[in-house]
Structure 1
Amino acid sequence: MVQKMRESMPQTPIFPSMLGSTCSGQVQPEMGEQCGDPVYQDGSLVSGSLEALIERLVPTVDYYPDRTYIFTFLLSSRVFIHPHEILAKVGQICIKQKQQLESGTEADKAKLKSFAAKIIQLLKEWTETFPFDFQDERARKELKEIAQRISQCDEENGTIKKSISQMTQNVLLALSTRGGQFQEIREKIRQPVTDKGTILKTKPQSSQKDILSVCGDPLILAQQLTAIELERLGNIYPEDLMQIISHMDSLDNHKCRSDVTKTFNLEAYDNWFNCLSMQVAAEICRVVKKKQRTRVMEFFIDVARECFNIGNFNSMMAIISGMNLSPVARLKKTWSKVKTAKFDVLEHHMDPSSNFCNYRTALQGAAQRSQSANSCREKIVIPVFNLFIKDLFFLHKIHSNRLPNGHINFKKCWEVSRQIHDFLTWKQVECPFEKDKKIQTYLLTTPIYTEEALFLASFENEGPDNHMEKDSWKTLRSTLLNRA
């Protein structure tokens, strides 16, 4: 299924070649360049009415839309119209073209087979790239009706019917697979807990597992974190990412927008980032001896550096965020023993100034390396997910969906599509690292602490420095002990 998804994705980059005819499809001479519907500039589609854009989606005997256009339109159109409504309009256009060919010459009738094959190819690309569009029974009904009409174009040959049957089975399989993924994701969601015994040091330190006892090699841990990241990314689909835009422009109660599985996939990935940050902080704060705590800090700095070298920026950011949490940041005696030069370099890469300019430069470098790489190891690019989401949000806010004349702003659609396509390309990289069950089980199941519990553990290791911290410590001890 992954290979089929890859084959149906745009085969050429949308930018910077978006302004050329290769990527945005062949411009029909009679359409004109600066006026008409749709509108082109320098051979590139920039806007159009919804009706004109749908017509451009549907193949004819002599025309098949560029794959980048198919992907971009189907991805972006859900902001304006339900998928089942697009299918209905596609079906109506198919009927007209079919009737024209049937009523024409014998040569026209012979072209019916070619036309039918192109329609099936379009539906195949749609169902493979956006199978969740067909979770809606209305969409499946429209798909079935189009398929029945198209199969009549070549009743003597069973090839079309076989293609339709296989396509339908693949859709149902994809929906079933995603349903299973959703249930699995639900089970993996972790919530912070308060382990009174661990935090208040009532258990012997030797009886507790810690990260160094499970994996003492920073490179190995970075690789296992990357394997987890790629697995989690595999559960995010282009439609999920469009929720960022479509939720802000909700159209009545669109099923594609309100479906809980879509936003849940994004929330689950965000949960993983937060859990990793809190786990890093917990690993540090719960260590009693300062020398060992220093070792744990330096270990995580090395892990973050290895993540950076791999191209796993999301885990790197999560580790840095965990070490910058207040319960860890306040451990001044411990930090004084840490060799911080490497940590300073990492923080420089993730400096938020100038809209994370340093990070974006590093990300661009990793993306360029990925494009020319021969090995899966060099193809890995895992962006900081929260920043990626913010970029999509910002892109939506500064550019309108529609122009003053009512046309859809397709320039915006191209850019949204480019960013999401880049993300999908990165997430489809096959993980080159063998899964270590022991390490991954520890990373994914070890209890994580609430912020209150982290502060209490921090105070237990390095006492309060001022009256405010003393008051906080007393309150936390009382609160957590009573709660427990």
Structure 2
Amino acid sequence: MPPTTPYAGKFSSCAPYSNNNNHPQPQSPYRNGSGPKPARENIYNGNYSAAENPYDIPQPHSAYRSASVSSVNAKEHHYSGGYGVSENPYSPPPPHSPRQHSTSCPGRAYRHTSGSSSSNGGGSSGSEQSCRNGSALTKARLHGHGITASYGEMCYHDNSLVSASLEALIQHLVPTVDYYPDRSYVFTFLLSSRLFLHPYELMTRVCHLCVEQQRSGDALLDKIRFREVAPKLVQLLTEWTETFPYDFRDERMMRCLKDMTHHVARGDEYSWRAMQQMTQRLIKRLSALGQYEEAVAALNAVAMERPASLKSKQASAQRSDVLSVCDDPFVLAQQLTHIELDRLSFIGPEEFIQTFAMKDPLENHKVPTPRLNSDLLFSAGLSSSSFQSPLGFFRKRKTSNLEAYVNWFNRLSYLVATEICMPVKKKHRARIIEFFIDVAQECFNIGNFNSLMAIITGMNMSPVARLKKTWNKVNTDKFEILEHQMDPSSNFSNYRTALRGATQRSETAHSSQEKIVIPFFSLLIKDIYFLNEGCANRLANGHINFEKLWELAKQVSEFLVWRQVVCPFDRDRRILQYLVTTPVFTEDELHLASYESEGPENNMEKDSRRSLRSSLLHRENRS
């Protein structure tokens, strides 16, 4: 019988639940069997002030994750449905039954009725039965160069799950006494199921099925059977709360979790203790998220203070510039990397998928249309007019970390442009341009492609690009090389080659610095969007297109590997504070500052300067 994933080795096997207070918790499905990352030294204490470094905040892999994730030897995994960590993360595992050692249950046409399996756990002994009509539904046929097989309402091709009904996929997630779903399947379905139903509805159905399938009519027998399955239910909920904690900002999810804790308490004391520990870690994680959001809001409030619209020598002399704060390009690139990794670490994997969620995903079998904010498309060169915005139950999403991160990209671009347009002297402007070119080069060397692209974007904004007298004093050789690396032609082929190189370096890294990979984030969003749009969610027979879900999970899991890296560089509070709070010019203010630096060259620019002066002066008087 086939496995459920075409790349099972990408996700590590989950540690079995053990009946002790120090039981190992399941690893995150994107950790590749590695042990926990060291906790960050600086922990945000909630007492934020504008003068303090706003980035001393707990990360998912620090105060929260390091307390709950342990390194697991795959050979100790006793669930027959699990896989060990393969040397090649994409090597296919040996075939096996999709539900080994499982008992008959109504609605599960792909389960064993006898509970038997081959001695090596590798496949079925012919006992796959239909619970609807008692006849075998297993079918196989040649399909191109591979074999397609159907087990009830689940279809496989070349030993990989490719489609199934929504009900069958939910059933496949539910653990039993002697079955636990493959870890890659758990991650993939929990990630993408929100395209079809709300996480609360999924959790309600999974918990209900897990309890109901143990009922036999005998109270004592029911208690014994639930005691046996409780550890695996706790294991599943632990994976859910640790990988998708933001789902539990929904009060209904927390109530459901509380109800299951009470139910488990009646059957198994050890599982009840594990549930309590899991809930405590979840609350700590959600508390850290709340503190992070408050810190970002405070930073944004400080940054909203407006600089002087019209430059003067006096105003320029009074305002600090980036060179007065940091004149070392490598140090500034390091601090930008701190900000990038801090903000990346709070982006939940589900935020990518929730962008595409629609109001009623089960109606009309339509492909969901994304609700992308125009800011998300700013740096990827996309037009917001290409997208529609349907009403959805994720209209008011519980998290906005993805949007906040893209806003940081835009802020950095405008900060670079502001720093260049602000100085009165041409020589000073040229020096700042050369400085940012060096910073961009260091970002490239580190693997920080997001800051690199933000700097290039800022330097290519029209108010900066028109400063021809300034650019004539700049050696642009390095800048042209960097622009070539991030050239958008051929779908950013040069950048994608560089990203693959950085990823390979990260996989074989011997130091923390070599592990850093920070992708050009808006392009990552664009890739996931087109992957979602390029394939239908449902096939003609009404099945969920699980091949598409595998690909979505693969892209998101790569991001999660990059997200968990701990920045190895020392923090400089003064530089960080400057980067995230220094006011930047708006687009109109940038144009006016540019005209003040180098006067208009034609009548159109002269008219534009007069209009901008009048408009900004009127705006300042009103404020």
- Asked whether the two chains share a fold, i.e. TM above 0.5, the reply is yes
Matching residue within 125, 129, 144 for 2:239: 125
Q: Does 1:426 align with 2:562?
A: yes
Report the CA distance shift for 1:160/1:277 in structure 2 as closer, same or farther (over 3 A). Answer: same
Task: Say yes or no: does 1:216 pair with 2:289.
Answer: no
2:200 is aligned with 1:68: no
Aligned partner of 1:142 among 256, 261, 266: 256
* Cα pair distance change 1:361/1:168, threshold 3 Å: same
Q: Is the 8 A contact 2:188 2:550 kept in 1?
A: yes
- Among residues 307, 331, 356, which one is paired with 1:245 in the alignment? 356
- Structure 1 residues 101 and 6: alpha-carbon distance in aligned structure 2, compared to 1, 3 A threshold: farther
List alignment gaps of at least 5 residues for structure 2: 1-63, 73-82, 101-122, 129-137, 140-147, 364-390
The answer for the alignment partner of 2:195 in structure 1 is 79
Give the aligned residue type for 1:34: A
2:172 partner letter = R
Residue range with higher mean Cα deviation, 89-98 or 14-23 = 14-23
Q: Residue type matched to 1:125 in 2?
A: E
Q: State TM-score, norm by structure 2.
A: 0.71
* Cα contact 2:249–2:398 (8 A) shared by 1: no
The answer to whether the 8 Å contact 1:14/1:68 transfers is no
Matched, 1:258 2:321: no
| 1-structure distance, mates of 2:166, 2:614 | 62
Residue in 2 aligned with 1:195?
A: 307
2:233 partner letter: I
**2:181 aligns to what SS in structure 1?**
coil
1:169, distance to aligned residue in structure 2 (A): 2.5
How far residue 170 of structure 1 moved from its aligned partner, in angstroms, is 2.5
CA contact (8 A) 1:87 1:139 kept: yes
Aligned equivalents of 1:427 and 1:11: distance in 2?
Answer: 23
Which of residues 273, 277, 280 is equivalent to 1:166? 277
Q: How many Å separate the matches in 2 of 1:444 and 1:11?
A: 43
> Quick check: 64-73 or 91-100, which moved more?
91-100
Structure 1 position 340 matched with structure 2 position 476 = yes
The CA deviation string for residues 63-96 of structure 1, in whole angstroms up to 9 with x for no partner, is 2112111111111111111222222222232233
Count matched residues: 476
Mapped partners of 1:196, 1:98: distance in 2? 70
C-alpha RMSD of matched pairs (Å): 3.0
For 1:64 and 1:70, how far apart are their aligned partners in 2? 10
Range moving further from structure 2, 453-462 or 11-20: 11-20
Contact 2:537–2:544 (Cα < 8 Å) also in 1: yes
What's 1:360 paired with?
Answer: 496
Mapped to 2, the partners of 1:428 and 1:440 lie a distance apart of 20
Residue 136 of structure 1 and its aligned partner are, at CA, apart by 2.4
Secondary structure class of the residue paired with 2:510? coil
Q: Aligned letter for 1:3?
A: S
SS in structure 2 at match of 1:246: coil
Code of the aligned partner of 1:47: S
Range that drifts further, 280-289 or 56-65: 56-65
Relative to 1, partners in 2 of residues 1:160 and 1:5: Cα closer, same or farther, differing over 3 Å? Answer: closer
Q: Which residues of structure 1 form unaligned runs of 5+?
A: none
Aligned to 1:17: 90
**AA at the equivalent of 1:64:** Y
> Please, which moves more after superposition, 233-242 or 408-417?
233-242
Work out which of the residue numbers 441, 444, 457 in structure 2 matches 1:321. Answer: 457
Secondary structure, aligned partner of 1:189: helix
- C-alpha displacement of 1:230: 0.8
Deviation for aligned residue 1:258: 3.0
1:44 aligns with 2:174: no
Q: Does the 8 A contact of 2:448 with 2:517 survive in 1?
A: yes
Q: Which amino acid aligns with 1:130?
A: F
Secondary structure class of the residue paired with 2:442: helix
Specify the alignment match of 2:607 in structure 1: 471
* SS of equivalent to 1:480: helix
Alignment partner, residue 2 of structure 1? 65
Higher helix share: 1
Kept in 1: contact 2:211–2:226 (CA 8 A)? no
Q: Does 1:412 align with 2:559?
A: no
Deviation sequence 1:207-262 (CA, Å, 0-9, x none): 3211111111100000000001111112211122222221587679875x233442
1:379 and 2:379 correspond: no
CA distance in 2, matches of 1:226, 1:289: 30
Bigger Cα displacement from structure 2, 22-31 vs 53-62:
22-31
**Higher relative contact order (CA closer than 8 Å, sequence separation 6+):** 1
Structure 1 pair 293/5, CA: closer, same or farther in 2 (3 Å)?
farther
Q: 1:434: how far off?
A: 1.1
Partner SS state of residue 40, structure 1: strand
Partner of 1:370: 506
On the 8 A contact 1:24/1:68 being kept in 2, the answer is no
User: Contact 1:48–1:410 at 8 Å: present in 2 too?
Assistant: yes
Contact map agreement 2:311 2:593 (CA 8 A) in 1:
yes
1:399 to 535, 538, 547: 535
What's the offset of the Cα at 1:428? 0.9
2:569 is the alignment partner of 1:454: no
Please identify, of 167-176 and 39-48, the stretch whose mean Cα deviation from structure 2 is larger. 167-176
3-state SS of 1:242 partner: helix
- Quote the offset at 1:129 in angstroms: 1.5
Please state if 1:34 is matched with 2:149: yes
Q: Is the 8 A contact 1:192 1:450 kept in 2?
A: no
Name the CA shift for 1:202/1:291 in 2 (closer, same or farther; >3 Å): closer
The answer to whether the 8 Å contact 2:485/2:494 transfers is: yes
* TM-score (norm: length of structure 1): 0.90
2:161 partner SS: strand
User: Shift of the alpha carbon at 1:376?
Assistant: 1.5
Deviations 1:102-142 (A, max 9, x none): 689x8x98665442211111111112222222232332333
Aligned-pair CA distance for 1:172: 2.8
